[in-house]
Amino acid sequence: MRQRLSLLLCVLLLPACAKRADLQVSQFKDGALTASDPVSADGPYEDRLTFDANAGQRLRIEMTSDSLDSFLRLLGPDGQVVTTNDDAMGGDAAITFRAAAQGRYTVVATSYGREKATGPYRVALAEVAGTFADPGATATIAVGETKDGVLEMGDRSQEGGGAFLDQFDFRPTAAGSVVIDLTSPQFDAYLILRDSTGADIATDDDSGGDRNARLTQTVEAGKLYHIMATTFGSAAKSGTYRLAVATAMP
């Protein structure tokens, strides 16, 4: 009778009876790839960590290590690969994504390539707070405005490469010179300014200092421009950023 009662309680309180996920939001786990770990289909050792996510929740996973070239693989609740990443942060890996469905996800922490690398690592899970446009959607910005955004899975990609890219339409009300700044604490920012036909007018990588981008450009009143917020290089690097447009000082 007592056993039946326990089973009934577990049915009624299924989430509480389920095994606790390995990772919680705002937590990290230290681990190590060793010769006793399972070997992935690609060849290297791997560890698996689980976490729970709600549909529409934006999360960032980071894997850092001083001993190996980190590689992340994200599996959805159905066990299928959602996305992968190698070098979002130099030799370290990071994935920023919006959960398509509620459920338990799995982080596969491994190393890049077929070599069976070993060594310690850290995997961290954090929620990406803020209100952002849907992945792949075009936003707008005006002189004097600052917009926060996030490069993530589902965004459009640069032509000829895998780098994520967000588009902001910009139509100045007055002619003159403007300064466009793209800053990010999570990736090497890169700016592209295009005309209404999609042709590149100007680009910049590090003129904003550190790994931030800055463009100073003369614009025409009423003309449509496209500001493309992206990352340097062809890798699909993700993370949050801030885009600002201001009148250039004489």
pLDDT digits (tens, 9 = 90+) for 25-78: 999 999 999 999 999 888 899 999 999 999 999 999 999 999 999 999 999 999
Range with the lowest mean pLDDT among 10-24, 149-163, 189-203? Answer: 10-24
For residue 8, the model assigns a pLDDT of 44
pLDDT band at 18 (very low <50, low <70, confident <90, very high): low
For residue 157, the model assigns a pLDDT of 84
CATH numbers and ranges of domains, the chain:
18-127 (2.60.120.380), 139-247 (2.60.120.380)
Strands (E) in the chain, as ranges, are 27-33, 46-53, 58-64, 70-75, 81-85, 93-98, 103-111, 119-127, 139-140, 146-151, 156-157, 164-170, 176-183, 189-194, 200-204, 213-219, 225-231, 239-247
Q: Which residue has the higher pLDDT, 170 or 7?
A: 170
Q: Which residue has the higher pLDDT, 161 or 16?
A: 161
